[in-house]
């Protein structure tokens, strides 16, 4: 088992002046369905904070969101830890409009590709995903691809209406290489990517839009790959 230091995401990351993050490799032979539930590995990782409040004039609220990441060649594991004052999770079917709920997102594009993938999950792990060149002309992910992405939430999987208070929750996901269904990615090891991490909640009582890397647009728009930054997998 690697030492904790080798598990820490480096390059770090969320400050505006930094250009790249590095996702560590975990060399253990543990099934993804078991690994996603293992607190030890996630606790060993350095958190990366979503700090960019790009549209503070119109949307000043910023929940606290940390991301941890590692891969084991076959799957990319992400953990979102969220602390916010309003949380909702109504969507239960993969492929639905989870951005209206309390939603965490990962947009990623392989190096040299012309299209990116938008992974979007609500607080109970319901996934919306597609491959696209920008906001328009999306190719929705096939259902078998959606179902191949694992998710585990501290809220479980039952839908709920908006809860207001000091809400703290986490979501872990495991993304297999094959989820990038329009590209020939065989392993996460050594993968060179570009992307960004987001948190939103379009229909919450406190709508918000925060990012890891800055986006320079007049209004909220996550579908802007020109603002992606480098993500390297060990």
Containing 4, the helix (H) or strand (E) segment is helix 4-7
- DSSP string spanning 171-228? EEEEEEGGGSTTS----STT-EEEEEEEEE-TTSSS--EEESS----SS-----GGG-
pTM score above 0.85: yes
CATH of the domain at 55: 2.60.40.1190
Tens-digit pLDDT profile for residues 177-216: 999 999 989 999 999 999 999 999 999 999 999 999 999 9
Residue 125 near residue 173, CB atoms below 8 Å:
yes
Question: What is the number of domains present in the chain?
Answer: 1
Containing 81, the helix (H) or strand (E) segment is strand 75-89
Which structural domain range is residue 203 located in? 4-233
pLDDT at residue 94, as a whole number: 95
What is the pLDDT of the chain when averaged over all its residues? 92
Distances (CA, A) of 138 to 115, 126, 129, 215: 9, 19, 9, 21
pLDDT at residue 28, as a whole number: 86
pLDDT at 16 over 50: no
Helix spans in 15-165 (H): 32-35, 39-43, 143-148
Joined together, the tokens standing for residue 165 give: 């208070």
Tens-digit pLDDT profile for residues 68-126: 999 999 999 999 999 999 999 999 999 999 999 999 999 999 999 999 999 999 999 99
């Amino acid at each position: 088992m690697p030492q904790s230091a080798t598990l820490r995401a480096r390059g770090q990351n969320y400050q505006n002046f930094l250009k790249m993050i590095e996702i560590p490799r975990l060399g253990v032979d543990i099934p993804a369905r078991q690994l996603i539930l293992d607190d030890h590995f996630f606790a060993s990782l350095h958190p990366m904070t979503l700090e960019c409040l790009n549209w503070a004039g119109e949307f000043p609220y910023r929940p606290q969101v940390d991301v941890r990441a590692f891969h084991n060649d076959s799957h990319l594991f992400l953990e979102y830890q969220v602390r916010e004052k309003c949380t909702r999770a109504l969507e239960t079917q993969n492929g639905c409009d989870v951005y209206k709920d309390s939603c965490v997102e990962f947009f990623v594009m392989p190096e040299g590709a012309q299209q990116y993938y938008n992974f979007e999950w609500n607080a109970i792990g319901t996934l919306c995903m597609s491959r696209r060149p920008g906001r328009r002309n999306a190719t929705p992910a096939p259902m078998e691809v959606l179902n191949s992405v694992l998710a585990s939430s501290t809220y479980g999987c039952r839908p709920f209406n908006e809860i207001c208070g000091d809400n703290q929750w986490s979501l872990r996901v495991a993304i297999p290489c094959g989820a990038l269904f329009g590209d020939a990615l065989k392993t996460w090891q050594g993968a060179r990517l570009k992307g960004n991490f987001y948190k939103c909640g379009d229909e919450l009582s406190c709508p918000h839009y925060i990012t890891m890397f800055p986006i320079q647009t007049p209004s909220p728009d996550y579908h802007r790959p020109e603002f992606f930054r480098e993500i390297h997998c060990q």
